[in-house]
Amino acid sequence: MPVTVADTPPPLGSLITEVSRWVPPSAPTVPEAVVPPELSLGEEYKVVSILCCAVTDAPVLAAHHGPEVTHRLMQTFFTVAHEVIQRYDGTITHITAEGFTAVFGAPVGQEDHARRAVRAALDLGQHLRPQPLGAAHAAGMGLHTGPVVVGYHASASQRLYTVVGATMHQALWLQRLAPPGMILLSAATQQLVQEEAQVTVADVPAGDGQGLSGLIYTLQSLMQRRAGVSGQGTARRSPFVGRERELAPIYGCFTEGFDTADLREAKALLEELA
């Protein structure tokens, strides 16, 4: 019968040598705290006006109509919103299943960004009113003006324009506070459009306001439409000083009748003054 010889165990000394050679793995390193970089060339601080708009009680709307009908309703909603916001040179920065956020005054600066946002909100409300969302689900809007950091998202596959800051959260808070079909303005926005916008103090619960100070207003309509920068007051016309010779032919056209030679002279002087 053949005899099988088993492998002899290694001597004790060699085991000790192998153990001594074994080096425990290094402890996992703790990542250092990430320090936010400084603003890049594509990012900047801006004072803008933000419009947040969303369908009221969208989950109930979806449960009542089903996904297909709700999809068609929201597609119409976003189509109208895109056309109106583009008309006033706003930029839609964020879209959700219920609504969107638009910014005025960025990326291209606009001195009248608050006025544009107010007009866009009123125009949007008029265009959405005949849509078959129902009065209970009419869009509520919030408008707020303040400083933000704007720029393009560096890691996104597409060039997404981002707006970051407390102003964004405060505008969103106003939108969530707005009853169906109502447009709420912060005091900061109202101050810039007070000569044009007809508003009333809103009867809404104050809450914490997300740090929002001042009264909250309900936007009703525009009292007048004129060019210029909102909040800067009525333009004052300065009188001509030391222009008696230049103005005399112009006045003569009205006091002595419209003479052809006088009109030519007046026109030449006006072009010289311009």
What pLDDT score does 30 carry?
45
Q: Which one is predicted more confidently, 161 or 90?
A: 90
Q: Which one is predicted more confidently, 272 or 112?
A: 112
* Rounded mean pLDDT, 178-191: 93
Return the percentage of the chain with pLDDT > 90, whole number: 36
What pLDDT score does 16 carry?
43
Give the confidence band of 207 by pLDDT, cuts at 50, 70, 90. low
* Rounded mean pLDDT, 140-169: 80
* Rounded mean pLDDT, 215-235: 68
pLDDT in tens, 115-130: 999 999 999 999 988 8
pLDDT in tens, 56-69: 888 888 888 888 88
- Is the full-model pTM beyond 0.95? no
pLDDT beyond 60 at 45? yes
pLDDT beyond 70 at 257? no
The full set of domain ranges for the chain reads 44-222, 244-273
Secondary structure string (H, E, C) spanning the chain:
CCCCCCCCCCCHHHHHHHHHHCCCCCCCCCCCCCCCCCCCCCCEEEEEEEEEEEECCHHHHHHHHHHHHHHHHHHHHHHHHHHHHHHCCCEEEEECCCEEEEEECCCCCCCCHHHHHHHHHHHHHHHHCCCCCCHHHCEEEEEEEEEEEEEECCCCCCCCEEEECHHHHHHHHHHHHCCCCCEEEEHHHHHHHCCCEEEEECCCCCCCHHHCCCCEEEEEEECCCCCCCCCCCCCCCCCCCCCHHHHHHHHHHHHCCCCHHHHHHHHHHHHHHC
pLDDT beyond 60 at 20? no
**15-29, 106-120, 157-171, 229-243 — which is least confidently predicted?**
15-29
Q: What are phi and psi of 103, to 5 degrees?
A: -120, 140
Indicate the fold that domain 44-222 takes in CATH: Alpha-Beta Plaits (3.30.70)
**77-91, 112-126, 187-201, 250-264 — which is least confidently predicted?**
250-264
What pLDDT score does 211 carry?
73
What pLDDT score does 272 carry?
67
